[in-house]
Structure 1
Amino acid sequence: MPADRELIVYVIIVGSGRLGSGLARVLSSEGNDVAVVDLPLDNRRLGPSFDGLVIEGNPIDADALENAGIRKADFFIAATADDNVNAAAIQMAKGVYNVPIAIARISDPEKEDFYRKLGFDTVCPTTSGMNQILDYVRDRTFSSLQATIDPSTICVLPRQEWIGNRLRTIRMPHGRKIVALVRQGKIHGYEEGISVRSDDSIVLARVGKE
């Protein structure tokens, strides 16, 4: 722990995927006390340098959360790949255990808006990635975009069979969802009436398991 650090916080992270493990490693390396809860638990992503507590258990199971020390937690971060699990987890953290700060990763922008209206603190990697793309689009043409965006969001050229079809009618492979369309340097949301053209770019988000 750095000698000049005045505050150590106790953080519980549910989810041991890329985001959860990354947060756990950084927060632990900064001298904080960190517990990770997941089922199954991916110790490989946490790495050998992580010296926090690891609990293999259901992130919304009271016993698992108790074993992780939720009653003394200062922060609770729900970072699994399942939006519903994350929402349920922070409801428990705030409503049952009165954790001061509880944040949920919500990948679906529509769900994020719903949970925010209920008063939950959320972070949406899909929206963050789209906003980064939009910042670049405003400054230069989209074809010159060379930004490092959240890996859960990618941009692809349309397949031949997509051209002429509306976004909502296009079936995506399991684990991917269309969230926006880029046309002539402008980003269009997931609108019912918009149809794909050959010179468009399609913004996809990863959904489901990491």
Structure 2
Amino acid sequence: MHIVILGCGRVGATLAHTLEDLGNTVAVIDRDHEAFRRLRASTAKAAVRGLGHDRAVLTTAGIESASAFAAVSNGDNSNIISARVARETFGVEHVVARIYDPRRAEVYQRLGIPTVGTVRWTADTVLRRLVPGSAGLDNGPLWRDPSGTIVLDETPLPEEWVDWRVENLEAAWPVRVAYLSRGGELLLPRGDEVLRAGDVLHVLARTSDIDGVLARSGARASSDETTGRAL
């Protein structure tokens, strides 16, 4: 598979080397020729100097045969414009853009352009670890799909579910257990996995259901608690 990367900073160079090690071909675009020093010699051979939204530059990088495009430069505008050109002009199937401004990230997610909002993600992750469960700080899920339909979030296992199976919980709650954390290890549980005290569940759910799920588990307060509606 051929992949084009815009931006040859630490992230772009790491992506390029990792993707090549996995057997893919990679081309890296950057305006600064000096940035290509981060690339090993074999990867630097496919480096292209120029702007990521320039069609001629993209063509030189092999965008017409690319299966994926990652825009990870240090400019939000460059990343999102380049991502749109890759998708809308060249029809690249898998496109992602790194966005620093959280407000922009939300807008482009709603437009169906997958983004990685590094500032918001980093801040939320740190806050979750510093003050777990604190009201007003946990403002969103760990992950949300571009359409906003499905989310991934974490919740401690409620005491009443200790010694029950994953399949029992999934039958009772509108969730799927993606993985769980147990004693510092991550597990991919089967349906017959017995849940233990101290487990932290990472669950997939519909956006419309997640607040109720987290309220039931005690991970998040819900406005429904004040109305008396069963969750």
Shared topology, TM-score over 0.5?
Answer: yes
Larger Rg: 2
Hey, what does 1:32 align to over in structure 2? 24
- Distance between the aligned counterparts of 2:72 and 2:44, measured in 1? 19
Indicate conservation of the 8 Å contact 2:69/2:83, yes or no. yes
Q: In structure 2, the residue corresponding to 1:91 is in which secondary structure?
A: helix
Hey, what does 2:83 align to over in structure 1? 90
Tell which has more relative contact order, 1 or 2 (C-alpha 8 A, sep 6+): 1
- Distance between the aligned counterparts of 1:75 and 1:52, measured in 2? 19
Hey, what does 1:75 align to over in structure 2? 68
- Distance between the aligned counterparts of 1:49 and 1:71, measured in 2? 22
Residue pairs, 1:68-147, within 5 angstroms: 68-139=61-132
Residue pairs, 1:1-210, within 5 angstroms: 9-41=1-33, 42-48=35-41, 50=43, 53-139=46-132
Question: Would you tell me which structure has more helix in proportion to its own residues?
Answer: 2
TM-score, reference length from structure 2: 0.54
Aligned-pair CA distance for 1:52: 5.8
- Distance between the aligned counterparts of 2:11 and 2:82, measured in 1? 16
CA RMSD of aligned residues (A): 1.9
- Distance between the aligned counterparts of 1:46 and 1:124, measured in 2? 25
TM-score, reference length from structure 1: 0.59
Runs of at least 5 residues in structure 1 that lack an aligned partner in the other structure? 1-8, 142-210
Indicate conservation of the 8 Å contact 1:39/1:56, yes or no. yes
Identity of aligned residues (%): 32
Amino acid at match of 1:38: D
- Distance between the aligned counterparts of 2:87 and 2:43, measured in 1? 27
Amino acid at match of 2:52: P
Runs of at least 5 residues in structure 2 that lack an aligned partner in the other structure? 135-231
